[in-house]
Amino acid sequence: MEFQAKIAQIDAEKGVAPALVDRFEREHDYLRISLTERCNLRCFYCMPEEGVELSPSGHILTNDEVVRLARLFVKSGVAKIRLTGGEPTIRKGISDIIRELNQLRPHGLRSIALTSNGIVLHRQLEQFVQHGLTHLNISLDTLDPLKFELMTRRRGHAAVLRTLDMALKSSSPLSVKLNAVIIKGLNDAEVLDFVALTKDNDLSVRFIEFMPFAGNKWDKSKMVPSSELLSRIIRRYPDLVRAPDELNDTARSWKIPGHKGSFGFISSMSDHFCASCNRLRITADGQIKVCLFDAKEVSLRDQMRNGASDDDLLETIGRAVFNKQEKHAGMEDIDVLTNRPMILIGGSIAMHPRRHVRTSLRRPVASQLRYFGTCAKLTHLDDKGRPSMVDVHSKEPSRREATAIGRIYIPPLAYDLITTTRQDDNGTNPPNYLKARSKGDALTVAQLAAIMGCKKTPDLIPLCHPLPLSHISVALLPQPPEQARNNDGDISRPHRQPHRHSVLCTATVSCEGKTGVEMEALMAVSVGLLTVWDMLKAVAGKEMEIGEIIVTKKSGGKSGDFSRNL
Ligand SMILES: Nc1nc2c(ncn2[C@@H]2O[C@H](COP(=O)(O)OP(=O)(O)OP(=O)(O)O)[C@@H](O)[C@H]2O)c(=O)[nH]1
Ligand SMILES: C[S@@+](CC[C@H](N)C(=O)[O-])C[C@H]1O[C@@H](n2cnc3c(N)ncnc32)[C@H](O)[C@@H]1O
Ligand code: SF4
Ligand code: SF4
């Protein structure tokens, strides 16, 4: 035993393997494993009412696969594993999984944790603890049985309370936390009742900010910032004090002097804790997901079933970890549509039928590889993902040409100003620099700007080669709505707005060189359109819109000719 403790200590001190360290030097020693996509509740904030399409059972990791991955992660430095779901307690064999995880202690696993809704857990809790469970988080959002039914769309309040009671009385040491997702106007008035639970119980209550996931109808106005809840609690308990947080804890904790327990806030939305993030997750169907809010996933299950070695798996894990983002997007920008619902992440039911979510999430193998940069690499990144200019010294120069187009939508008044002689000003009071100018001046300025911008491309786009351009031609064509509809023909493009006035900018650039000139053509169009904006902003600023910038033709070079019909 002493020997095992020694090994555990050495393992703990050696930190995590490089594969578990990301670009921001975050060491990932906490793994969340989802054991199932199923659940016996239907919490409205976690899954859409219509449910989620479940993966076929053969796609879910087997117990052996779960344990194999757990062992690999622990040997690579993971010290804490949390079992989650769906509802992990309804997975057959969970007790065996906990027992097997317990065998990983000599390799450095210190905590075996479980997050559960507590509905059926009271039947197995004692056994789980005997098998090695050390930390239990029970989710309970309300102390009112009727509200419970409203929030979870199922019954079972009494069963959860029974589990909670049993956990608090557990004979073996068990850390018990209670998770409550707080929703404005629904359960935020119960916060003080939850805090009161900490008086006589060694319990950590955590108030969780409502987070957006596919299908959960998240709305900022339903989210109660942690700071607001804290102010309410301070009004009732002015002498509360900060409580120590565990390293990398999601919660900021507080304690009321004399209370046995504590309470805290998981402010994932208003004050994220990404800088100290040490978490990785495996979904029930065996995908590694490096961030809760990142839709990218790669299948460890498929690799295992195709005979991958532990080294192969670790390499895949390493690439995924390396590419982890610094933090999740801001509150309004989180792209919930491409992510899974929470229940499928572990810790999802989709806006779209699951099939659709699947196609965007489960990438075919080739595109997964592309994502991790092994096969079709981004040409401006080197093997380590650092920016690098492409070396073209061995390429033969050839004639290259590219055409790009783009459009700026403008209001009718602005359209009149650039297409009408200003002497007959109709009293609309245009700015001085547009007054008394003849038709087309603004567009001439934009045309010259586009040509100058094109020549500056390598100065602005870091890894673009400077090229000896032989010709730049730029045309800016004002189009009334009818004309846009008649001769443009590109109405079918998704963002096309044929009912609006616009200026279509076309740039064709050519050179005798070793690389293509599409960046130069795109730059010319972009700068031309921005200059139209600048010239018209005094009369049209808020109503203008630039878009539809695309390459329509390219010729020369090894990749051959390309043309995209308008
Ligand atoms: N942003 C973010 N929030 C997370 C993550 N994991 C869990 N959470 C939040 O924490 C809440 C509670 O999740 P739990 O399953 O109890 O896990 P935990 O809080 O990480 O557990 P501890 O190990 O006790 O810290 C979830 O509802 C989320 O709001 C994560 O990786 N990122
Ligand atoms: C997805 S559940 C899985 C484990 C288990 N079924 C449970 O409810 O505890 C894990 C945690 O995520 C929380 N959760 C689910 N949807 C959430 C959301 N939209 N915002 C914040 N937390 C959420 C739940 O309250 C729960 O505490
Ligand atoms: S939070 Fe999600 S997974 Fe957990 S009990 Fe509710 S519906 Fe089930
Ligand atoms: S949002 Fe992503 S990076 Fe931030 S704490 Fe959660 S998992 Fe970590």
46 lines ligand 2 (CB under 6 A): yes
pLDDT beyond 80 at 541: no
pLDDT beyond 80 at 291: yes
pLDDT beyond 50 at 492: no
Closest Cα to atom 20, ligand 1: which residue? 250
Residues labelled as active-site residues: 534
pLDDT band at 361 (very low <50, low <70, confident <90, very high): very low
Pocket test for ligand 3, best of 44, 47, 84 (most atoms within 8 A of CB): 47
Q: What's the pLDDT score for residue 415?
A: 87
Looking from the CA of residue 84, the nearest atom of ligand 1 is: 15
SS3 of 376-401: the string is CCCCCECCCCCECCCCCCCCCCEEEE
Distance CA 42, CA 48 (A): 8
Q: What's the pLDDT score for residue 306?
A: 96
Q: What's the pLDDT score for residue 438?
A: 43
Pocket test for ligand 1, best of 29, 81, 182, 268 (most atoms within 8 A of CB): 268
Q: What's the pLDDT score for residue 488?
A: 43
- Cα-atom radius of gyration of the chain, to the nearest Å? 30
pLDDT beyond 70 at 14: no
Q: What angle do CA 369, 372, 378 make, to 5 degrees?
A: 95
Query: pLDDT (tens digit, 9 = 90+) per residue, 166-188?
Result: 999 998 889 999 999 999 999 99
pLDDT band at 51 (very low <50, low <70, confident <90, very high): confident
In this structure, of 286-295, 349-358, 448-457, 545-554, the range with the lowest mean pLDDT score is: 349-358
pLDDT beyond 80 at 158: yes
Determine whether 507 is exposed, middle or buried from the number of CB atoms within 10 Å of its CB (0-12, 13-18, 19+): buried
Mean pLDDT to the nearest integer, 211-227? 83
Query: pLDDT (tens digit, 9 = 90+) per residue, 546-565?
Result: 988 999 888 887 666 777 65
Residue with tokens 């450095």: 108
With beta carbons less than 8 A apart as the criterion, state whether 37 and 60 touch: yes
Mean pLDDT to the nearest integer, 66-81? 98
Q: What's the pLDDT score for residue 138?
A: 98
With beta carbons less than 8 A apart as the criterion, state whether 204 and 178 touch: yes
CB-CB neighbours of 218 under 10 Å: 17
Mean pLDDT to the nearest integer, 295-302? 92
403 lines ligand 1 (CB under 6 A): no
Residue with tokens 């507080």: 254
Structure-block tokens of residue 324: 């982890």
In this structure, of 90-99, 221-230, 376-385, the range with the lowest mean pLDDT score is: 376-385
More confident call, 309 vs 15: 309
Q: What's the pLDDT score for residue 555?
A: 87
pLDDT band at 113 (very low <50, low <70, confident <90, very high): very high
Residue with tokens 């929030």: 151
Closest Cα to atom 9, ligand 2: which residue? 116
Structure-block tokens of residue 39: 């659940």
Nearest-ligand number for the alpha carbon of 334: 4
Pocket test for ligand 2, best of 82, 204, 208, 222 (most atoms within 8 A of CB): 208
DSSP code of 534?
A: H
Has this prediction a pTM greater than 0.90? Answer: no
Residue 44 Cα, ligand 3 centroid: separation in angstroms? 9
